[in-house]
Amino acid sequence: MALACGLAVPAAPALAQATIKVGVLHSLSGTMAISETVLKDVTLMAIEEINAKGGVLGKKLEAVVVDPASNWPLFAEKARQLLTQDKVAVVFGCWTSVSRKSVLPVFEELNGLLFYPVQYEGEELSKNVFYTGAAPNQQAIPAVEYLMSAEGGGAKRWVLLGTDYVYPRTTNKILRAFLKSKGVDEKDIDEKYTPFGHSDYQTIVADIKKFSGGGKTAVVSTINGDSNVPFYKELGNQGLKATDVPVVAFSVGEEELRGVDTKPLVGHLAAWNYFMSQKNPVNDEWKKEWATYAKKTKLANASKPLTNDPMEAAWIGIHMWKQAVEKAKTTDVDNVISAMAGQTFKAPSGITSMMDPKNHHLHKAVFIGEVKSDGQFNVVWKTAGPVKAKPWSPFIAGNDKKKDEPDGKTIITK
């Protein structure tokens, strides 16, 4: 706590005049530190890069890093502190949906600006938030469609397996409706949840095996955090191979596989909008920059620097914000929000990502990767081009009446 406050104090009052302050709100301790720490680092790297190129509107960016410690109410408290005491122009932060839901009222009340870089369940739209991660139709649904196809194995039965909280439950609700619309029977869908931090997947894996006796089965995993390690270990040990029962995961990326022996997992899948193994000049450049930065700042895993999808989303977010500020010629929140519409950025995933003119989500290409023995992913399928996000999933009743644009936006015309 003392550390976080210490960090939050501006470096020198004199400097404050010539800088633009930006908040970084990621857990640096607690259960989510595993995933969120790198997002803080990649944001700082972006700030350093922007400053080296002359800053924004002639001013340097100054990062205000706070640690909400994986504690959901503390997220709201820290967000309020960033907006009222530090008066930051924008905040980059959050990972879990529950932390985003916790800070949302604060940003709406104080008219702040949040960039949220992680894939999530949708069903939300706020004028104060830009969602640079995937909505369900940019990750979950294409993945399931792939597994249904001949190329993906032609799955007929589905196990929807997740950690017990809002993101998996909502995603599975959408997927269930989607599967039903594709003619999958109720008895061919098995939905299962485990508590946070669950580590004994023996029964679950045995159940999956039994279930797969009834026909070609695929598992859709929304298990979050480090529970994935024991789950995949158990899969490997019980001899459930990807060729028999493929598991597609939405929360497992390069960083999560760091602690796993991936040899028994070869062929299991993940759906993301970016993989580190993608070959294109932008990605090569970005990976090099990240490796250099990791070494220079002596990050814990500098010897094996990894990039992943949420890092890419965070990277796009901060650059788009910079472009929007330059377009609006001010950091005023309402002006920046309207300048964000239609911004484009050459993303490391190899496409030119565009911010939707209306719904605050990025247009993203979807990739499906198979785990390789070295812990990287091998892209086996991708969409033809960027897909527009549908935050209100058409598979949830009543969503067809909802507007594809947040309410209360100030229209700024120049």
Partner 1 sequence: MRILLIVLTFALGSCASAALAQDAKTVEKLAFGESAEKVEAVAALVAAGDEKSAALLQALADGELYTAGKRVLIVRGEDAMDAATGVKVAPLPEDREEITVNNRLRRELGRALAALKLVSPERGARFAAARELAGGAEPAMLPLVKKALAKETDSAIKRLLDQIAAALELKAGDREARLAAVRKLAASHNSNTKTLLLSFLEAEKDEDLRVEAQKSLREIEGRLAWGERAGIVFTSISLGSILLLAALGLAITYGLMGVINMAHGELIMVGAYTTYMVQNLFRGHAPGAFDWYLACAVPASFMVAALVGMALERSVIRWLYGRPLETLLATWGISLALIQGVRTIFGAANVQVENPVWMSGGIEVLANVVLPWSRTIIIFFAAAVLGGIWLLLTKTRLGLFVRGVTQNRAMASCVGVPTARVDTLAFGLGSGIAGLAGCALSQIGNVGPDLGQAYIVDSFMVVVLGGVGQLAGTVYAALGLGFANKLLEAWQGAVLAKIAVLVFIIFFIQRRPQGMFALKGRAVEV
199 contributes a contact to partner 1 by CB under 8 A: yes
198 contributes a contact to partner 1 by CB under 8 A: yes
Task: Show contacts with partner 1 in window 26-55 (CB under 8 A).
Answer: 28-29, 31, 33-34, 37
Give least dist CB 374 to partner 1, A. Answer: 10
Q: In this chain, which stretch among 179-187, 213-221, 281-289, 331-339 interacts with partner 1, using CB under 8 A?
A: 213-221
353/132 Cα distance (integer angstroms): 10
Nearest to 139 by CA among 379, 352, 396, 367: 367
284 contributes a contact to partner 1 by CB under 8 A: no
394/338 Cα distance (integer angstroms): 26
300 contributes a contact to partner 1 by CB under 8 A: yes
| Of 301 and 410, CB closest to partner 1 | 301
Neighbours of 134 (CB within 10 A): 28
Among residues 73, 215, 342, 357, the one that binds partner 1 under rule CB under 8 A: 215
| Of 18 and 206, CB closest to partner 1 | 206
**Cα three-residue angle 135-249-162, rounded to 5 degrees:** 85
232/229 Cα distance (integer angstroms): 5
Q: In this chain, which stretch among 72-80, 95-103, 106-114, 205-213 interacts with partner 1, using CB under 8 A?
A: 205-213
Task: Show contacts with partner 1 in window 75-134 (CB under 8 A).
Answer: none
| Of 89 and 270, CB closest to partner 1 | 270
327 contributes a contact to partner 1 by CB under 8 A: no
185 contributes a contact to partner 1 by CB under 8 A: no
| Of 250 and 345, CB closest to partner 1 | 250
Q: In this chain, which stretch among 46-54, 225-233, 315-323, 332-340 interacts with partner 1, using CB under 8 A?
A: 225-233
200 contributes a contact to partner 1 by CB under 8 A: yes
| Of 85 and 199, CB closest to partner 1 | 199
Q: In this chain, which stretch among 72-80, 259-267, 320-328, 354-362 interacts with partner 1, using CB under 8 A?
A: 259-267
Among residues 15, 85, 98, 151, the one that binds partner 1 under rule CB under 8 A: 151
Give least dist CB 373 to partner 1, A. Answer: 7
Return the structure tokens found at 245: 């029962």
378 contributes a contact to partner 1 by CB under 8 A: yes
239 contributes a contact to partner 1 by CB under 8 A: yes
Give residues in contact with partner 1 (CB under 8 A): 28-29, 31, 33-34, 37, 150-153, 164, 192-195, 197-200, 202-204, 206-207, 209-210, 212-215, 226, 229-230, 233-234, 236-239, 242-244, 246, 255, 258-261, 264, 267, 269, 300-301, 370, 373, 378, 380
